[in-house]
Chains A and B, each alone.
Chain A
Amino acid sequence: MTPLFPFVCLAHAIETLAMKHVFVVEDGHAEQKMIEALLKQAGFQVTLSSSVDEAWDKLQSGSPPDLFVLDIVMPGKSGLELCRTIRENEQLQDIPVVFCSSKSEEFDRFWAMRQGAQAYLVKPYAPKELLDVVYQHVK
């Protein structure tokens, strides 16, 4: 342990505080890993959830994130449902939501945006696409 350890810790804490927080709800393991890795590489703090209920529990306890990345089709409640819940919540309603879904039809995009999302990515997407969208919408 170096004598600089407290400063390192402090610096790390400040960095963590300054990092933008992205909340990801995605049931696919590989997709989770990819989104997490991409966002972390780009300097974001990432919280992962595999289902809407788990996500909602986490949101109740933690501080509100800066952006949501949501899958749509998941076991249990859908990402659309979570998006509606987020938009009805006073603390979360202004946080941007990005959907990443394999539902590729134009109507799917229309409907997802109608639920209050800011962007809609169709899977599979290029890593840069995700990062561009996240950069564009994160506050």
Chain B
Amino acid sequence: MTQPTPERDTASFAAAEPEAIAAETAPAEDAKGSDDLLQLLLTANGLEQSGEIDRAREIYEDIVTRDSTGVWGQSASQALAALPASEPAALEDTTLERPDSNSEERSTESEPTVPLPPSPPLDTSPRREPKTAVARSRGGLGTTLKLMFVATAAVPAVLTAGATLWLAPQTLPPATTPSETDDRDRVLQRQTLLAAIVGAVSILALASLTLPRLQRLDRYLRQIAYFSKKVKLDRPTRPLEIPEGRDEIGAIAANLRDIADLVTNQNHRLQQLERQQEQERQRDRAEKDRLQQQALDLLERLEAARSGNLAVEAPLSDGAVGAIADAFNATARSLREFVSQTARVAADVTERTHDSETAVRQLSDAARHQSQDLQSALDTVRAIADAIDRLSRSTRDAADLARQATEAARLGDSNMDRTTESMEQLRTAVANTAKKAKRLAESAQEVSQILAVVSGISEKANLLAFNAAIEAARAGERGEGFRQVADDVRGLATQIGESAGDIERLVGSIQAETADVLDVLEAGTAEVVSSTRSVGQTQQTLRQLSELSQAIDGSLQTVARDSADRARSSQDVNRVMEEVNRVALTNTEEAQRVVSVLQGLLEEVETLKSSVAKFQVE
């Protein structure tokens, strides 16, 4: 199956042919280095492939003589061993039978240092002898024994059966009555006895015939046993007293004699074989020792690996231990990879866990801070809510006050209305008084004018009285009475003049008083007017105040509404913030839990690392 087809060979080596021929024709003197040996090997191989076996053999032999222990020489000797024989040679028999390429038996046969023992004639002669003996003595002892067996076994049986059959038809009528049944039983007993007698007689006759033969056979066999025992014990023995060539016993005796000769002849050969066997045993022992040593080496490595040193490599020795070592190396290699990977992963996990732990701790702290901030914010919001509540109450109070102010302003307004009315009446009254005072002043003035007239008349009356007194004095005594009257008129006139002056002074004072009254009245009027104006302004102010109060009331109501809204909103905010705070607290707890989990993980990883650290991988 490993033999390539000739077509392919010739095709593939056609190209190499000229080179090969060139190398062959070149003298081989300079073939000293390995390159030349290689060239020779190639040439020989080319020749072998192209069918020139003899020339190839010559070159191979040349290579073997030059380089008997090297790679080239060994390859060449292998090639020589595999070359097909050109002429029949006894030595080539074994190599010819053997398959060309890697056969199973090759490893055992490839030891040319241990020559095979020369083929012994012992193997052939006994093999041929029994054949002829069997051929010659066909119908001999075997047949006799078979006949004796048949006679002893079959003849009595056949005779008995024949006797029984011969007796049976006449003596076995069908049984109908009890007396007949008794007769039948009797007849049967008789027949059985008869048949037994016939059998016994025939057995005795046959035994007398066969016994002497068996005795002789026994004797011969004893002799053969004794002889073969002697042969086995390797002692000189007297020859067998058995006539030759009669039957198998004779043949066995002849063969035994031959064997005895052969045993004697092959003694030294056996010794040789024993020596060889001893050598082989020694070799086996050495092999066993080697195997044991290999196993010990491997066990040492296994022990080292078990204690954690995975960097061990077992040597790839020959045989099963080498294969186990290779499997062990492969296992150790994958374990090394696994351990390295585990260590890497553990380191990675540690690092990441540390990072994560820090991050989670920060997160936890942040969450705690957040919670605290939220708590204070919550307090603030609560304070704001309280403030809003208080504000709401104050606003309500202020609204009440504003409403009261509005009411008061309205009341003031109506009072002012009444005041204005009174003032108006007062002004009218003052105006009337002033008018009357003016008319008084005018009357006083008229009185004054009249008084001036009276005063003139009095002065004229005085002058008239004086004139009358001067006329009376000239008229002497007769004129006395007249002078009297004239004096009286002059007194009257002076009196009138004095009274007129008094009246004038009175009128003057009346006029002055009236002027004062007028002044006062004017001032009062002005006062009233300004008071009226002030009252109007006050009223205006009160109205504005009322409006303002109303506006304030409205605003306060809005504020109250707003603050109610704000109170609700702040409650909402409060709720939300409490929720947030709860979440923040939960976060803190979670973060702490995660931290503890991470610490647990770190511990686990440390355990893993210390386990992994037990293994050496480099």
Contacts and interface: CB of A to CB of B under 8 A. Distances in A.
B16 A124 contact: no
Interface string B14-45: 01100100000000000000110010011011
A131 B326 contact: no
Interface in B393-434: none
B501 to A, nearest CB: 161
A15 to B, nearest CB: 10
A81 B333 contact: yes
B6 to A, nearest CB: 12
Nearest to A107: B320
Contacts of B323: 107-108, 110-111, 114
A105 interface: yes
Contact of B48 (A31, A114, A128): A128
B12 A30 contact: no
Interface stretch (B74-82, B85-93, B245-253): B74-82
B420 to A, nearest CB: 118
Nearest to B333: A81
A108 B318 contact: yes
B38 A105 contact: no
Nearest to B35: A33
Contact of A72 (B12, B110, B316): B316
Contact of B71 (A84, A124, A128): A124
Contacts of A132: 2-4, 100-101
B13 A129 contact: no
Contacts of B104: 106
A41 B39 CA distance: 11
A133 interface: yes
Given A105-B318, A126-B82, A80 B74 contact: no
Nearest to B324: A111
B12 A43 contact: yes
A121 B75 CA distance: 12
A122 interface: yes
B322 A133 contact: no
Contacts of A128: 45, 48-49, 79, 82, 100
Contacts of A111: 320, 322-323, 326-327
A38 B38 CA distance: 9
Given A132-B100, A132-B101, A127 B75 contact: yes
Contacts of A31: 71
Given A78-B326, A108-B323, A122-B110, A129 B78 contact: yes
A80 B48 CA distance: 32
B179 interface: no
Nearest to A115: B326
A4 B323 CA distance: 56
Interface string B106-119: 11001000000000
B178 interface: no
Residue with the highest number of chain A CB atoms closer than 10 Å, among B100, B102, B107, B319: B102
Contact of B78 (A78, A103, A124): A124
A104 interface: yes
A125 B41 contact: no
Given A122-B102, A122-B107, A136 B71 contact: no
A33 B38 contact: yes
Contacts of A125: 75, 78, 102
B316 A127 contact: no
A124 B77 contact: yes
A123 B104 CA distance: 14
A68 B329 CA distance: 22
Interface string A63-82: 00000000011000010110
A40 B77 CA distance: 22
B72 A108 contact: no
Given A108-B323, A128-B82, A129-B102, A43 B15 contact: yes
A45 B425 CA distance: 146
Given A124-B77, A125-B78, A30 B100 contact: no
A42 B38 contact: no
A114 B333 CA distance: 19
B387 interface: no
A55 B436 CA distance: 150
Nearest to A124: B74
B330 interface: yes
Contacts of B1: 136
B268 interface: no
Given A30-B72, A33-B34, A105-B107, A42 B333 contact: no
A132 B316 CA distance: 27
Contacts of A126: 75-76, 78-82
Contacts of B102: 109, 119-122, 125, 129, 133
B8 interface: yes
Contacts of B554: none
Nearest to A44: B12
Given A78-B316, A124-B74, A133 B38 contact: no
Interface of B: 1-4, 8, 12-13, 15-16, 19, 34-35, 38, 41-42, 44-46, 48-49, 70-72, 74-82, 100-102, 104, 106-107, 110, 316, 318-320, 322-323, 326-327, 329-330, 333
11 contacts: A30-B70, A30-B72, A34-B38, A43-B15, A80-B326, A80-B330, A105-B322, A124-B75, A129-B102, A132-B2, A132-B100
Given A126-B82, A133-B101, 9 more contacts: A34-B41, A78-B329, A105-B107, A106-B104, A109-B107, A125-B75, A126-B76, A126-B78, A128-B100
Closest 10 A-B residue pairs measured CB to CB? A124-B74, A111-B323, A126-B79, A105-B319, A126-B78, A127-B45, A107-B320, A30-B71, A104-B107, A135-B4
